[in-house]
Amino acid sequence: MKFVIVMLDGLRPDQLDDAVTPNLAELSKIGLRLDRHTSSFPSETRVSSAALATGGHSSAHGIIGNRFWANGRSIDGSSLSALLTLGSERGGVLTATTIGEVLAAHGRAMLTIGSQSQGSFGLSSWGSWQAGAPAFWVHDPSNFSNNAAVRRIASCFPVLPADERPARATIERVVDLFFSFLTKAALPEVSLLWLSEPDITYHMFGLQHPTAREVLHEVDRQFGRIFAWWSEKGEREGVQLIAASDHGHAIIGEKVSVLNHLQRSGFKVGYELTPDVDAAISAQRVVNIWVRDREGHLLTEMYHSLSEQPWFGVAFSRKAADGSPLVANTLPLSAVMAEHQRSADLSFVLADCSAANRNAPPGAVYYDGAYPIGVGMHGGLSAHELSSLCILAGNGFKTGVAAVPTSIVDLVPTILSSLRLPLPSTVQGRIIHEALQDREDGGQYDVEDASVSIASSAGRATVFRERYGQRLYLRGAAVTRLAEPKNDRPDANPTQLNT
Ligand SMILES: [Zn+2]
């Protein structure tokens, strides 16, 4: 049995339709569609890359955000060299074992081809490229692998346009390289192809813009080339084809600058922990705050200043020495499987716009960063951001629709168990028994509501969760306010662009 996984970055499952995505629609008819599939938290691409690679959440793998603070410096996860400052090429970057490492340890290979950021590519194929397996990062195919097949094939293709947006030629190259590889070498047990669209275009235009629909159609056309090969040949050879996405998208309804708010409120904060500031923040849909020396009093003051704002959503803090959350009235980061040594002291998601404005369009969210109002964004805990695509097809899988909770972290255990390989102890996902053809024991669990909420004088914050098969699945989050929040809207300050 072999697996070809095609990741379609940011594709929200409700965007599929027969006209725009005929190939994906057809795959969902002949395969098994996981109807309640979600991403990990935060729903950012580098976190998802690590979740897909390890079968664990950020509490296991340690990539707690696209950008985070560790070892006294800010780590930009889009840069492989920045990630490598966390550890060596082999260890210390991810704190969980990857599928690439398991395959390499058992003499199996993994082929990875991707057009996402260099850091995300490195994370998604971690343990594989270091072991000499074929790894093509389309922006610089010789960057990751000294593999002979990569060297031979890469030289046959012209250099791609730099930073192409929408990334039409770039995603086509992913599929071209896949077919080129097949002419030179046998398909390994696991192949991971990562197309950086429709995410890039959603961030430019939103989901409904004609260009976004066109690019989604192009994504489907590229996927369709793989689907055609699979239908003619791959399926008969026992290849299991998986089409999935790493997260969904919400729509930017209003912009805020948390840094400006904190500075105007008298706090010494910056995007870096320089000597003149007391706290460093990183902000997108999730705002993370690291306070110098974890000073509790300052954290509490910041929390009070922030929590009165209309854009303040559900807040989390790391564990104090006594095991309770460091900041009163916040949920523990473990509630969203995000407690890690690298976690921020205080983290909060920006709210849905409807929390403060009853007339806000559905799916509109607050956002802190460089993208404009009206385009797609992700990273937070809203149902639209968490919602992810997953369709499984092949003789190893059942067909139809599985309506049980599943998540991106369930793919590694499902694939490894199908390959009769051991699951690393750091795996947090479960084998999706309901999907497997040879298992009759599927669907025996009850779905239990495992939502958690916390009340304060300002209102109530809830994370909607379900427990299924002894795992927690995230469904969304909401805040309800007791009093009218202050409408102190900080000036938008578009200084960070970091998805
Ligand atoms: Zn993504």
How far is ligand 1, taken at its centre, from the CA of residue 5, in Å?
A: 15
Residue 492 lies in a domain: no
How far is ligand 1, taken at its centre, from the CA of residue 44, in Å?
A: 6
Residue 222 lies in a domain: yes
Same domain as 347, residue 429 = no
How far is ligand 1, taken at its centre, from the CA of residue 197, in Å?
A: 9
Q: Is 391 helix (H, G, I), strand (E, B) or coil?
A: strand
User: 129 or 89: which carries more pLDDT confidence?
Assistant: 129
Rounded mean pLDDT, 6-12: 98
Rounded mean pLDDT, 484-488: 51
Residues in contact with 197: Cβ distance below 8 Å, sequence separation at least 6, in sequence order = 8, 9, 10, 166, 167, 168, 170, 171, 215, 216, 218, 219
Residue 474 · residue 336 · CB < 8 Å: yes
Same domain as 256, residue 240 = no
Name the token pair of 58.
């950020």
Q: Residue count of the chain, please give it.
A: 499
**For position 72, what pLDDT does the model report?**
78
Same domain as 165, residue 303 = no
Q: Tell me, what CATH number does 229's domain have? A: 3.40.720.10
How far is ligand 1, taken at its centre, from the CA of residue 7, in Å?
A: 9
**For position 100, what pLDDT does the model report?**
97
**Residue 498's pLDDT band (boundaries 50, 70, 90)?**
very low
Same domain as 94, residue 52 = yes
Residue 147 lies in a domain: yes
Nearest Cα to 241, choosing from 491, 75, 3? Answer: 3
**Residue 481's pLDDT band (boundaries 50, 70, 90)?**
confident
**Residue 442's pLDDT band (boundaries 50, 70, 90)?**
low
Same domain as 413, residue 281 = no
Rounded mean pLDDT, 354-369: 93
Q: What is the DSSP string of 327-370?
A: STT-EEGGGGT---TT--SEEEEEPBGGGT-TTSPTTEEEE-SS
Name the token pair of 26.
């057809």
**For position 441, what pLDDT does the model report?**
59
Residue 496 lies in a domain: no
Name the token pair of 186.
């046998």
**For position 492, what pLDDT does the model report?**
42
Same domain as 99, residue 69 = yes
- Which residue type sits at 69? W
- Which residue type sits at 390? C
**For position 62, what pLDDT does the model report?**
96
Nearest Cα to 335, choosing from 436, 243, 462, 176? Answer: 462
How far is ligand 1, taken at its centre, from the CA of residue 45, in Å?
A: 4
Residue 434 · residue 34 · CB < 8 Å: no
Residue 381 · residue 41 · CB < 8 Å: yes
- Residue-wise pLDDT for 178-214, tens only, equals 999 999 999 999 999 999 999 999 999 999 999 999 9
**Residue 443's pLDDT band (boundaries 50, 70, 90)?**
low
How far is ligand 1, taken at its centre, from the CA of residue 105, in Å?
A: 28
Query: How many Cα neighbours within 13 Å face the side chain of 167?
Result: 26
**For position 482, what pLDDT does the model report?**
78
- Residue-wise pLDDT for 259-298, tens only, equals 999 999 999 999 998 999 999 999 999 999 999 988 889 9
Q: What is the average pLDDT value for the chain, to the nearest integer? A: 93
Name the token pair of 114.
């991707």
Same domain as 268, residue 142 = no
Residue 409 lies in a domain: yes
Same domain as 344, residue 393 = no
d(CA 412, CA 120): 17
Domain enclosing residue 372, as ranges: 252-376+450-481
Same domain as 146, residue 44 = yes
Same domain as 309, residue 403 = no
Residue 495 lies in a domain: no
Residue 457 has pLDDT above 90, yes or no: no
Residue 494 lies in a domain: no
Nearest Cα to 196, choosing from 258, 257, 82, 118? Answer: 118
Query: Model pTM?
Result: 0.95
Same domain as 340, residue 397 = no
d(CA 179, CA 173): 10
How far is ligand 1, taken at its centre, from the CA of residue 106, in Å?
A: 30
Residue 44 has pLDDT above 70, yes or no: yes
H/E stretch holding 392: strand 390-393
Same domain as 338, residue 429 = no
d(CA 343, CA 365): 23
How far is ligand 1, taken at its centre, from the CA of residue 247, in Å?
A: 6
How far is ligand 1, taken at its centre, from the CA of residue 43, in Å?
A: 8
Residue 288 · residue 58 · CB < 8 Å: no
Strand segments (E) across 232-324: 239-244, 250-255, 269-270, 279-283, 286-291, 312-317
Total domains present in the chain = 2
Name the token pair of 215.
């690019």
How far is ligand 1, taken at its centre, from the CA of residue 172, in Å?
A: 18
How far is ligand 1, taken at its centre, from the CA of residue 9, in Å?
A: 5
How far is ligand 1, taken at its centre, from the CA of residue 245, in Å?
A: 8
Residue 199 lies in a domain: yes
